[in-house]
Amino acid sequence: MTCARAREAFVEGWGREGSGNSSVLDHAGACPACAEELRRLSSLLETVSADEVPDPGAGYWETFAARVRARTGEGTPRLRRFGTAPRLSRRAPWIPAAAAAAAILAVASFWLVATRTSVPGGGDLATLRSRLETNLESATDADRTAAADILPMMESPTDSEAWLQATWAPDEESAEESLSRVTTILSPSEGGGLPDTSGWAEGLSKEQIDALIKDLAAGEGTGSGGKPEAGTG
């Protein structure tokens, strides 16, 4: 078990049976860094879980249903048989899917070149681009929307190396999962990387993206963490 997987498994199981599963404990026993990290993580999660909601009092709960009923009128809702109701409509994507896809490609390429970081597990910029394109072709609208949701997170400084290790598992996941994870690895490194990447690529066309990637791959990116010009191509 890797350090990243041990930490993920710990969080997935936290608060339930299995949070102390033997694989995680075995790993922590042999890895002082993870043992310390899991201890701090546990402390944090326990603190959050201890954050109590002030109880509004027994009177509040006793009258709550009546107050709701008063607002609904006296009618009683009737259920149709399951399966006859229309699906709930999906919320509109935060930004158009195509723009999100373009942003992912462009930012990934820029990030890799700017930080001179190879794709974890081997590969290079072309490998990542190919993989991203394949994933995006098979991704659902929801995944593209999810990708768009993640892009703003890139404004938050995080430890990108840790995220790379924690989120990249190209041989073990579906295209959907991979797409989601790939968007996650785009977080800029603390104190450098891309300080504001959440919106700059949204309006670019595929041709512009291709040109940008070509330029970046040739080493003509800013490499300084600055925001590239949208019209590079």
Partner 1 sequence: MPDENGSPPGDAGILDRLRNGDRDAFDDLVRLYQRDVYHVAYRLTRNAGEADDLAQETFLRAYTAIDGFRGEASLRTWLLRIVTNLGLNVVQSARVARRSGDDVEGAAPPVPADAERTVIESERMTRLGPAIRALPPKQRATLMLRVNEGLKFKEIARIMGCTTGTAKANFFHAVAALKESLKDFLG
**Which residues make up the interface to partner 1 (CB under 8 A)?**
8, 11-12, 14-16, 39-41, 43-45, 47-56, 60-61, 64-69, 71-72, 74, 76-83, 85-86, 88, 90-91, 142-143, 145-146, 149-150, 152-153, 156, 158-159, 166-167, 176-177, 179-181, 183-184, 187
Nearer residue to partner 1 within complex by CB, 30 or 142:
142
Nearer residue to partner 1 within complex by CB, 33 or 88:
88
The minimum distance between CB 175 and partner 1, in angstroms, equals: 11
As a whole number of angstroms, the longest Cα–Cα distance in the chain is 70
Nearer residue to partner 1 within complex by CB, 32 or 83:
83
The minimum distance between CB 157 and partner 1, in angstroms, equals: 9
Distance separating alpha carbons of residues 45 and 97, to the nearest angstrom: 35
Q: Which residue has the tokens 């993920």?
A: 8
Give Cα 17 distance to the centre of its chain.
26
CB 185 within 8 A of CB 209: no
Rg of the chain on CA atoms, in Å: 23
The minimum distance between CB 178 and partner 1, in angstroms, equals: 9
Enumerate the β-bridge partners of residue 189.
158
Nearer residue to partner 1 within complex by CB, 185 or 212:
185
Nearer residue to partner 1 within complex by CB, 26 or 159:
159
CB 106 within 8 A of CB 209: yes
Cα angle value 38/42/44 (rounded, 5°):
120
The minimum distance between CB 186 and partner 1, in angstroms, equals: 10
The minimum distance between CB 33 and partner 1, in angstroms, equals: 15
SS3 helix, strand, coil % of the chain, rounded to 5? 55, 0, 45
Distance separating alpha carbons of residues 129 and 105, to the nearest angstrom: 7
The minimum distance between CB 122 and partner 1, in angstroms, equals: 22
Nearer residue to partner 1 within complex by CB, 44 or 126:
44
